[in-house]
Amino acid sequence: MNILIADDEKSMLKILKAYFEKEGFNILLAEDGEEALDLFYNHEIDLAILDWMMPKVSGIDLCKEIKEKSNIKVLMLTAKCENDSELKALNLGADEYIKKPFDPRILIIRAKKLLKEEKVVYVKELKVNFEAKKIFKNGRDLHVTKKEFDLMYCFLKNKGMILSRQKLLDLVWGIDYVGEDRTVDTHVRRLREKIGEDYIKTHRGMGYSLEGKNE
């Protein structure tokens, strides 16, 4: 999943990036509101973590625009202590609000609650059931293998991102995997045979990405 973190404190960005990447999230960083808006409009974001006070575009104005344009979850960070600040953030659509200073581990727990995945996700004609670990197409069970499901899950979790063979090996087979990276090509081919050729795009010399927005 893609998380946008916007904060004008570089040290804060560095710390949060390390914590969230350790949990398996893909992180996009912005040091001001303008940069954050650019990332929002050019990437598929699952969660935005925004500092209230930022140059160029404030976190609260950024929250307002994101909520007007999308259904993305927004978590606000602020050093402000007034209750009306929290009320203002929530009234503008923020889904969660955390006051600085905070323990990054608490932030991750709050973020995960906001990102609580639906048990079922739809992508065009596909229905992906995370609980049952099954993929259906037009109501028909495709009988995918565990590795094929894990591969699809990985693509969904990193939708909009080009994943290299090595990245897929690390995420699906594990960083201690020993073997040919071409095994990725084999599994992608088999998955395509089941779900259809139009979902997974090949980027020559770069890797693969999942096509089609969640419905």
Highest mean pLDDT among 80-84, 190-194, 211-215: 190-194
Residue with the two structure tokens 């081919």: 189
Residue with the two structure tokens 């398996």: 24
CATH topology of domain 2-114: Rossmann fold (3.40.50)
Q: What mean pLDDT do residues 144-172 have? A: 88
- pTM attached to this predicted model: 0.56
Sheet strand arrangement including 2-6: 26-30, 2-6, 47-51, 73-78, 96-99
Instruction: Give the rounded percent of residues in the chain with a pLDDT score beyond 90.
Output: 38
d(C-alpha 109, C-alpha 207), whole Å: 31
Tokens linked to 169: 């090996």
Between 4 and 120, whose confidence is greater? 4
d(C-alpha 163, C-alpha 209), whole Å: 6
Q: What mean pLDDT do residues 187-206 have? A: 94
123, pLDDT greater than 80: yes
The residue ranges of every structural domain in the chain are: 2-114, 120-210
Average pLDDT score, the chain:
86
Strand partners, 99: 78
Between 30 and 124, whose confidence is greater? 30
80, pLDDT greater than 70: no
d(C-alpha 157, C-alpha 160), whole Å: 9
CATH topology of domain 120-210: Arc Repressor Mutant, subunit A (1.10.10)
37, pLDDT greater than 70: yes
Q: Is 83 exposed, middle or buried (0-12, 13-18, 19+ CB in 10 A)?
A: exposed
The model's confidence at residue 117, banded by pLDDT at 50, 70 and 90, is low
pLDDT at 135: 95
Instruction: Give the rounded percent of residues in the chain with a pLDDT score beyond 70.
Output: 91
pLDDT at 144: 96
pLDDT at 214: 53
213, pLDDT greater than 60: no
Q: Considering only CA atoms, which of 126, 148, 155 is closest in space to residue 26?
A: 155
195, pLDDT greater than 60: yes
Highest mean pLDDT among 27-41, 53-67, 82-96, 159-173: 27-41
pLDDT at 22: 83
pLDDT at 211: 79
Whether 32 contacts 57, CB under 8 Å: yes
Q: What mean pLDDT do residues 128-135 have? A: 87
d(C-alpha 7, C-alpha 55), whole Å: 9
114 DSSP 8-state letter: H
Whether 32 contacts 6, CB under 8 Å: yes
